[in-house]
Amino acid sequence: MTENRRIVVTREFAAPRAAVFRAWTVPSELEWFLNPDQPRPDQPIEVDLRVGGAWTVPMVIDADTSYTTGGIYLEIVRDERIVFAWGAEDGWPKLDRADLWAGPIATLEFEDLDGDPASCRATMTLALPETMAEPEVREWLSKGIGAGWRATVERLTVPATTAA
């Protein structure tokens, strides 16, 4: 769903919040983020899970298009919430550590599904800043970031070893 400046993707999992949180924060479990239609890149997935730390993922779109993406953590509440400035300092979208709030901000929220700690709902909200002019918002949205995030989040799997 896109509401002016926001893209919201919600998924439900037959796994506890801790397992889905790990799928977003442990390099070996972030493999789901990679494009399944392309060979696995040589560059490793990296995670520095602390406020101010970065996570980076090598993205290969096709033979001609590849870049690093990820984010810089702004807030981390284990098994409940992750907030990050989306992008990479040497990737796409381009991040400027001096002004992390100038670009897209992603918020991931994890909650028990219907009060059952063995299953959860994960909601990812990507917000474009209020300071961004409407033509720039339309340009960002026209790049297909909504469809890209939805397709990426749909690939998220929780390994059986962590789902128990």
Burial readout 130-155 (b: 16 or more C-beta within 10 A, e: otherwise): eebeeeeeeebbeeebbeebbebbee
Whole-structure pTM value: 0.90
**CATH C-level class of 2-163:** alpha beta
In this structure, are residues 101 and 85 in contact, taking their beta carbons and an 8 Å threshold?
yes
* Domain ranges, ordered by start, for the chain: 2-163
Whether residue 41 is preceded by a cis peptide bond, meaning omega within 30 degrees of 0, is: no
Q: Residue 1: what pLDDT?
A: 40
* Residue-wise pLDDT tens digits, 29-44: 998 888 888 888 888 9
Q: Residue 69: what pLDDT?
A: 92
Alpha carbons 50 and 18: distance in angstroms, whole number = 17
* Residue-wise pLDDT tens digits, 60-101: 888 888 889 999 999 999 999 999 999 998 888 999 999 999
Q: Residue 2: what pLDDT?
A: 46
What the block records as the tokens of 117 is: 């700690």
